[in-house]
Amino acid sequence: MEQLVKRINGMIHLKAYNRQRDDLFFITVEKSQLELVLSHLKNNEGFTHLAFLQAVDFLEDSKFQLTYMLYNYDIRVNLGVKVLIGRDKAEMTSIHKLWAHAWQYQRELHELFGINFPGSPRVEESFVLEGWEEMPPMRRDFDTKEYSERTFYQRPGRSTNDPKEYMKEKMYKNYAASPRIRRDDE
């Protein structure tokens, strides 16, 4: 793996390299060099399978982090390629020419995060939301509760309880004494 990283480093500048498990690694690359890296990984290093492509909204940094998760069937290794892109008018090059099925992921990201992939087939079509008109809902600045209250009729009389407290109160009167597995947050 290290050799692989070296080889890639020889080509371009790797921003970060992180080993999660024996079979799970992450590298972070520049936005402009992503396509180069991916095609190298696919064509020369045997990472032929694109398992998924997902995004994380780093609202505070005003960035989206895209993760292209690749898999090598020969050495059975997962490799995540991370890219950070700007959050405003987010745009990323489409990789549907490398992996044809990537169009579906890109369409999803377009709908849920508002990341644009110019040239990706059918990217404008709705994916799970039909007729969505608001801000892409997976952006963290979208207030889903407010939206729900505004849009869907609330049935009056609904109350919410913290399950742990509620159960403690209602069902397990002697909660402290009851044997249980210790949880981290206690």
Partner 1 sequence: MNRKHIDEIEKQMKLANEGLPEEERKFFADVIPTRVDPFNKYWEQFLNWARSRSLWMLAFGTGCGATELRPLMTSRFDMARFGIFPRPTPRQASVFVVGGYASIKTIKRIIRSYEQMQGPKYVIALGSCTINGGMYYDSYNTINRLDYYIPVDVYIAGCMPRPEALIAGFNRLKEKIVAGECEGMNEYTDKFDWFKKNQKEIIKDWNMPDYNW
Q: Which residues bind partner 1 (CB under 8 A)?
A: 126, 128-134, 137, 142, 144-145, 147-149, 151-155, 158, 160
Residue with Cβ nearer partner 1 (62 or 144): 144
Separation in Å, CA 79 to CA 22, 26, 56, 146: 11, 6, 17, 38
Q: Can you tell me the distance from the alpha carbon of 127 to that of 131, in angstroms, rounded to the nearest whole number?
A: 10
Exposed / middle / buried, residue 121 (Cβ in 10 Å: 0-12, 13-18, 19+): middle
Please report how close the Cβ of residue 90 comes to partner 1 at its closest, in angstroms.
20
Q: To which residue do tokens 């990789």 refer?
A: 95
For residue 87, what are its two tokens?
Answer: 């959050």
Phi-psi group of 41: left, alpha or beta (phi > 0 → left; psi -120 to 50 → alpha; rest → beta): alpha
Residue with Cβ nearer partner 1 (150 or 173): 150
Cβ atoms < 10 Å from Cβ of 9 = 12
Please report how close the Cβ of residue 150 comes to partner 1 at its closest, in angstroms.
10
Residue with Cβ nearer partner 1 (154 or 178): 154
Residue with Cβ nearer partner 1 (17 or 142): 142
* Chain centroid offset of residue 96 CA: 18
Please report how close the Cβ of residue 175 comes to partner 1 at its closest, in angstroms.
22
Please report how close the Cβ of residue 103 comes to partner 1 at its closest, in angstroms.
20
Which residues have C-beta within 8 Å of that of residue 78, sequence separation ≥ 6?
23, 24, 25, 51, 69, 70, 71
Please report how close the Cβ of residue 60 comes to partner 1 at its closest, in angstroms.
22
Residue with Cβ nearer partner 1 (58 or 132): 132
Please report how close the Cβ of residue 160 comes to partner 1 at its closest, in angstroms.
8
Residue with Cβ nearer partner 1 (45 or 111): 111
